[in-house]
Amino acid sequence: MLLSSLNINTQRSVSDKIRLCFWVYLILLIFEGAMRKWFLPQLSNIFLVIREPVVLYVIFLSFKYNIRSKITNALFIFSFISFVLTLLFGHHNVLVALYGVRITLLHLPCIFIFGKVITREDIHLIGKAVLYISVLMFIIIVVQYFSPKTAFINIGTGGSGTASFQGVDEYMRPSGTFSFISGLTQFELLVGLYLIYYLYNNKNISKCHKFSIFVLFTFIIIYFFSLALCLSRTAIFEAILMFATMVIYMILNKEKANKIIYIIIFMTISFLILSQIESFKLAIDNVFNRFDSASKSEGNIIEGSVGNRYLGSFYRAFFETQNFSNKEIPFFGFGLGIGTKVGETILGVRTIGNSFAFAEEEWSRIVCEMGLLQSIFFLLGFRLILPLSLVYKAFIYIKRRKDFFLYICIPAFLLHIINTQWAVPTSLGFTVVTCTLFVAALNQHERIKNNVIH
């Protein structure tokens, strides 16, 4: 029945098999944390890599049916070279090297393989699934928020400790179905992406995929309430960024500028309704307290989160590399996987006074693992030049065909591919999902272009 609603026939084509793999990947991503915390905590370590068989099968299909591109081939070659250098000059541990190389060898290539087969109808179905799941996620985080950190709903992975982080007073930062708050933050970014898309474009979507005004209004209220409960400056910053991106689009397309007024009215009504709810007012007060305390320790959201933490991490990676081991970074690095929690545990690497053995910042972690030469090629090539070139190409298509979905995917795509911490499995998973949506929308225009040419 599910396959029928998704219009997937695994006996028909390899494309349908890969599309099904994407859906399995997405569902596992959202609910694997729940399995690790609540339902099968004794299998927590297995669920940590539960998506690996899916991407491994997709890679197998890509070789069997030649569904690859220059980008995926470059990732395969780079991964092989880095793997060999790790075994020759790095930590020499095969298991840790395999865990580290899976990022560039399995997950990242799947962005471009999934992107070849995901259709616009799939994009709409994914959006509907994500928005309906957001209702369940909201219920869970409400319970987590108002429960003590020792409650079962807040239990940590493996059935011990807590998955909630310190928030404000006795109110913890919830993690939803995920292992940590970062997963919930990235899920809300995906929810925000689709909400803005439907707010702007709901009338132009086919009847089977659009939402009624009442349902869309409910999603908006749940989203705003969820942002308040997250107690995450990152989640709120990303929401503001997405909304600003939409406003810029409508200003540049003057015939659509009147939609700004309707959307602002829509959001204002939502806030007025929420302001009548005591628990929402409490959550908002805690958000302001959280911002105030974080600003005192890290600076305001622009200086702290954007300036120092985000942009500053790029500079530090090459000139003041974050390296808690205090050991000189070898020319070929310490080796793939050593900067991950799994790698640290297997190799028994520890540092005093830090929760990470080498680096918390993503670019510095990669420099520690790969060394300066490899990391320059990878960071500047794959994590900066490539995404910017794809965005440039996207703007060309947007200017020609006014594709709002492709446009609204751009900030989420850049946030994920440039600086997301791929050492965290959930963050890596959301990078694959979110970037696949962008690449799929971009490839749709490529197919139209090729059809015109031929």
pLDDT digits (tens, 9 = 90+) for 138-196: 999 999 999 988 889 999 988 887 766 666 777 888 999 999 999 999 999 999 999 99
Q: How far is CA 52 from CA 81, 85, 89, 102, 110, in A?
A: 21, 23, 26, 8, 11
What is the pLDDT, as a whole number, of residue 129? 97
How far, CA to CA in Å, does 104 sit from each of 74, 377, 420? 10, 13, 14
Residues 6+ apart with CB under 8 A from 114: 18, 21, 22, 58, 432, 436, 439, 440
Is the CB of residue 196 less than 8 Å from the CB of residue 408? yes
Strand partners, 172: 166
User: What is the model's pLDDT at position 172?
Assistant: 83
Burial (0-12, 13-18, 19+ Cβ within 10 Å), 369: buried
Alpha-carbon span 33 to 290, nearest angstrom: 25
* Per-residue model confidence (pLDDT) at position 377: 95
For position 10, what pLDDT does the model report? 55
Name the 3-class secondary structure at 137.
helix
Report the alpha-carbon distance of residue 235 to residue 252 in Å, rounded. Answer: 26
pLDDT at 454: 30
- Give, as one character, the DSSP assignment of residue 209: T
Q: Give the 3-state secondary structure of residue 118.
A: coil
Q: Within 13 Å, how many C-alpha atoms sit on residue 360's CB side?
A: 7
A 10 A CB-CB count for 334 gives 26
| Cβ 141 vs Cβ 228: under 8 Å | no
pLDDT reported for residue 166: 66
| Unique residue bearing structure tokens 């272009």 | 449
Q: How far apart (Å, rounded) are the C-alpha atoms in residues 91 and 15?
A: 39
Q: pLDDT of 220-243, one tens digit each?
A: 999 999 999 998 888 999 999 999
Helix orientation angle between 108-117 and 425-453, rounded to the nearest 10 degrees: 40
The pLDDT assigned to 452 comes to 42
> Dihedral (C-alpha) 276, 176, 180, 427: value to the nearest 10 degrees?
-100
Q: Is the distance from CB of 15 to CB of 117 less than 8 angstroms? A: yes
For the chain, which residues score pLDDT lower than 50? 1, 452-454
Whether residue 36 contacts residue 157, with contact meaning beta carbons closer than 8 Å, is answered with yes
Q: Helix 404-419 to helix 425-453 angle, to the nearest 10 degrees?
A: 140
Q: What is the pLDDT of residue 3?
A: 56
* Number of other CB atoms surrounding residue 9 within 10 Å: 12
Size of the chain, expressed as the number of residues it contains: 454
* Terminal Cα distance for the chain, rounded: 38
Which among 357, 347, 355, 348 is positioned nearest to 326, based on CA atoms?
357
**267-290: b or e for each residue (b if 16 or more CB lie within 10 Å)?**
eeebeeebeeeeebebbbebbeeb
Tokens at residue 228, please?
Answer: 């308040």
The residues near 176 (Cβ < 8 Å, ≥ 6 apart) are 33, 137, 140, 141, 144, 183, 184, 187
| pLDDT number for residue 279 | 93
Report the pLDDT value the prediction gives residue 350, as an integer from 0 to 100: 80
